[in-house]
Structure 1
Amino acid sequence: MKKISNVLFIEDDEITCFLNKSIVEEMQVAENIQCLDDEESALAYLKNQCRNRMAGEEACPELIFLDLNLPFLNAFEFLERLENYPEIEVERLFIVLLTASWDARDMEKAKKYHIQGFLNKPLTQEKIQEVVVNFNKSMFARG
């Protein structure tokens, strides 16, 4: 299975981010793993890294784990802002929402956005493996 070039966690809890990053590192499914703890840093990072992708570099995260409840914006507000930046090409990202609790309204709202899945926290190797398999299927389907 091909390793994912770049994985980004957008998670405001430092311990959760550390644990999630550690699991992905241990699984050896990604070349680079980044954790960002706030929305503004994440937007700036994505704008910068994805602009480089347009120049032929592969710095833009291919897989993003996005916490549903961030400090200043929820994930849906974040995604709306993200869609305003054409250099990011949201449709090329594989985005998975992370939540501590399921809410049917959130799942319904998620259908409006380019989201590939919902996962309950905490992440486990099994959950990440399922995401990686789905990610690889998605990349294969794109050609």
Structure 2
Amino acid sequence: MTNKTIWIVDDDPIYQIIVSKIINRSAMFSKIIPFKNGKEAIDQLQEVINNNEAVPDIILLDINMPIMDGWEFMEEFNNLKPKYLDKIRIYIVSSSIAVEDKTKSKKFKTILGYISKPVTVNDIVLIASDE
């Protein structure tokens, strides 16, 4: 197991449990932190940055969530201090098969990929190895 941190930003608690088990099976991350929506995640990220703590290596971001969806999260994320933007790799993870969602994800240079649910161990290994 490596010393990497991954955040799961998804409003589905069952999915969070499943993807956490998949991530554990990959043995690629030492820390998995779940968030119910983009607002919780962006608030935590801002706090981590303000306290000079380690930012997550990877964020798995759902698109459709209450309070703050994935796109709103990305807008806020892009307003953070630039030195942090390059350290965090973001992947959209969604059950949406809409072409416009995949196209929109390409507009954000900080989104490195679009993964369709369900995520597999192989997906996790690939993104964790992609440094």
Q: Same fold (TM over 0.5)?
A: yes
1:27-106 counterparts in 2 under 5 A? 27-52=26-51, 55=52, 57=53, 59-86=54-81, 89-106=84-101
Identity of aligned residues (%): 25
Deviations 1:9-57 (A, max 9, x none): 00100010111111111221111110011222111111112333xx4x4
Do the aligned partners of 2:37 and 2:69 also contact (CA within 8 Å) in 1? no
Q: 1:88 to 1:98 in 2, by over 3 A?
A: farther
Q: Is the 8 A contact 2:10 2:16 kept in 1?
A: yes
CA contact (8 A) 2:16 2:34 kept: yes
Mapped to 1, the partners of 2:94 and 2:66 lie a distance apart of: 14
Equivalent residue number for residue 121 of structure 1: 117
| Residue pair 1:50, 1:87 contacting (<8 A) in 2 also | no
CA shift, 1:104, in A, is 1.5
- The aligned residue for residue 22 of structure 2 is 23
The 8 Å contact of residues 13 and 37 in structure 1, kept in 2 or not, is answered as yes
- 1:69-88 per-residue CA deviation (whole Å, 9 max, x = no partner) reads 11133312210012222277
Superposed structure 1 runs of 4+ greater than 3 Å apart: none
TM-score under structure 2 length normalisation: 0.88
Any gaps of 5 or more consecutive residues in structure 1? Answer: 137-143
Relative CO higher for 1 or 2, CA cutoff 8 Å, sep ≥ 6?
2
1:141 — aligned with what? none
1:92 is paired with a residue of what secondary structure?
Answer: coil
